[in-house]
Structure 1
Amino acid sequence: MSNLDLRPAAAECAAAPSGPVRELQRGREVPLGESTVVRRLLPTLGRRMVGAWCFVDHYGPDDIADEPGMQVPPHPHIGLQTVSWLHEGEVLHRDSLGSLRTIRPRQLGLMTSGRAISHSEESPRPHAHAPLLHGAQLWVALPDEQRHTAPSFEFHAELPGIAGGGGLRATVILGSLDGATSPGTVYTPLMGADIAVVEGTDARLPVEEEFEYAALAMDGEAEVDGVPLPRGSLLYLGTGRRELPVRATADASFMLLGGVPFDERLVMWWNFIGRTHDEIAAAREDWASGTRFGTVTGYDGTPLAAPPLPATTLKARGRVR
């Protein structure tokens, strides 16, 4: 996934309140590739991270029966992991390691950029893809000791699930929830799960007291900790809970994202996460010159060009603005 903003600002990280909160926010619409519009929920002016989760886009459901669907040309990443998660449709992943994989609903595509990788994402060509596209794309920041690791790509078609009682079921995408653990590789204490609820659900989901959490509404309108979640919204919940009340008057689903607050100071610009201006500038130059990031083969189009760096020096920011 890519940040296609041609004038990307350096993202600061907001403070993580100590204790439970309920902050509901709507996403801003951002074009992604040729024909997909996403709702960007992280980073925003008011909230930059949830644990190590630092970038969240929600898209669809979109009718792409006669459209190209998602078409994101090859682009670079450093210092992060990408998570592809679908409710409907397919996304074809290619990367500079030679990976080629079609990701389908409730399957995990997990790419670790480490020191450098490039990839593309696309819906299979018209008349070869499903008529609807609906999902989320997310980034996880890598901690300093792992951010220069070798790049890798994981695909997990089967993920553990839980039945939480009271009408709640969950698929564990990353980390652990209620005793179930995903096979996906993580580098900080965090979790991600897809939660499905049915009409009449009244459940309490066990969570980690030291984690901060947010709920991303995918379908319907579940009620999380007493707050109704309209589709495409993000409810930041803070820390300090041992359980999370979930209710629903109709079928609905949401993603629960959480983790220990990420305290490192970051520079997050375009598709890069680093620690200094010079590091980001070097990554941009390497991408422009065709070095370091390898080549994505098979994509029918040219790679994305990096936007110009801002005139001012990019500064590493902590969670407190």
Structure 2
Amino acid sequence: MSNLDLKPTPTACGCEATTGPVKDLLTGRQVQLGESTEVRRLLPNLGRRMVGAWCFVDHYGPDDIEHEPGMAVPPHPHMGLQTVSWLHDGEVLHRDSLGSLQTVRPYELGLMTSGHGISHAEQSPRAHARLLHGAQLWVALPEAHRHTAPTFEHHATLPVVTAPGLRATVIMGALDGAASPGTAYTPLVGADLALREGTEQRLPLEPEFEYAVLAMSGSVDVDGVRVEPGSLLYLGCGRRELPLLARTDSAVLLLGGEPFDEKIVMWWNFIARTDEDIRQAREEWMTGTRFGEVHGYDGERLAAPEVPQLPLKPRGRVR
């Protein structure tokens, strides 16, 4: 999925990870994505720009698209990151410059590693379900792997951890001994937690990770803080468990990982280390000399916005 902002600001990805637990509730801003989809952008946020290597979080829906085209994101490039597509309702048809053509359905993992460069498009199939509801997330690649060859993975079956009233699907990384088949390049976790109304559980965590919880549906108390859809609760580091209380049938995404120590620049759909990296990538997308071509999408590819005149400076977690 793309950042379609035509005037994107350079984002100093990363800010200081806490040395202990916190409870920082963040709200998203509304962003138009493609022709007909509006999302709530939770990361990057004015108060928090990264959680581990997770650096971009959009939550969309549930939207009634029965008589609408649904998602329509034209071909666009990525580099230096992984995209994680996650659905609760609907389907998304993924096309990329590797020749991949895959419909991603609810609770299936669509994982694209851009590496040195890839382009893709996403849209709702012509015949689609009435509702569209999901999240799109990016993971920053570390320096050692950011020039890797691009790949696309589709995993229809993912491991599940269960407890009374709780079903946790492991999207990325590992949780309570269950490991996702998705390729990860830093220690992290992404898990979908489905809770029945009245469920009270304590989820095991890794104390060296920092964590956040994204509310997908329902109403959940996370360590005593009410989290509603459209909000993200940053939890900091140093936790060994996470208390959860479901006020209604609910679903949240748990995102976490070791704090990302590298200095990076995120601009438009690129993650790089220098101003020159960004400008070269934009030029190569516009001239068609990099990122390949997406076949089969009915429409024009996205033009890249202009890079700001001032140099883009890499920054780390400490602001």
Structure 2 CA distance, aligned partners of 1:201 and 1:159? 23
Partner of 1:135: 134
Does 1:161 find its partner at 2:190? no
Matches within 5 A, 1:139-218: 139-165=138-164, 167-218=165-216
Structure 2 CA distance, aligned partners of 1:17 and 1:7? 31
3-state DSSP of counterpart to 2:143: coil
Matches within 5 A, 1:1-321: 1-12=1-12, 13-125=14-126, 128-165=127-164, 167-321=165-319
| One-letter amino acid matched to 2:152 | F
3-state DSSP of counterpart to 1:86: strand
User: Retained in 2: the 8 A contact 1:164–1:205?
Assistant: no
| One-letter amino acid matched to 1:27 | G
3-state DSSP of counterpart to 1:105: coil
Structure 1 CA distance, aligned partners of 2:123 and 2:195? 30
3-state DSSP of counterpart to 1:282: helix
Deviation at 1:232, TM superposition (A): 1.4
Structure 2 CA distance, aligned partners of 1:248 and 1:82? 29
Deviation at 1:2, TM superposition (A): 0.2
1:156-210 CA deviation, whole Å, 9 max, x = no partner?
A: 0000001133x11100000000111000000000000000100110100000000
Structure 1 CA distance, aligned partners of 2:34 and 2:54? 22
CA-based RMSD:
0.6
Structure 1 CA distance, aligned partners of 2:232 and 2:193? 14
Structure 2 CA distance, aligned partners of 1:131 and 1:95? 25
Structure 2 CA distance, aligned partners of 1:162 and 1:318? 34
| One-letter amino acid matched to 1:196 | A
1:197-246 CA deviation, whole Å, 9 max, x = no partner?
A: 00110100000000000000000011111111111110000000000001
User: Retained in 2: the 8 A contact 1:162–1:170?
Assistant: yes
Deviation at 1:249, TM superposition (A): 2.3
3-state DSSP of counterpart to 2:262: coil
3-state DSSP of counterpart to 2:280: helix
Structure 1 CA distance, aligned partners of 2:197 and 2:34? 36
User: Retained in 2: the 8 A contact 1:74–1:119?
Assistant: yes
TM-score (ref. length: structure 2): 0.99
3-state DSSP of counterpart to 1:293: coil
TM-score (ref. length: structure 1): 0.98
| One-letter amino acid matched to 2:97 | S
3-state DSSP of counterpart to 2:294: coil
User: Retained in 2: the 8 A contact 1:267–1:276?
Assistant: yes
1:258-313 CA deviation, whole Å, 9 max, x = no partner?
A: 00000100010000000000000000000000111100000000000000001110
3-state DSSP of counterpart to 2:297: coil
| One-letter amino acid matched to 1:192 | G
Residue segments in structure 1 that go unaligned for 5+ positions in a row: none
Residue segments in structure 2 that go unaligned for 5+ positions in a row: none
User: Retained in 1: the 8 A contact 2:26–2:47?
Assistant: no
Percent identical across equivalent pairs? 70
| One-letter amino acid matched to 1:142 | L
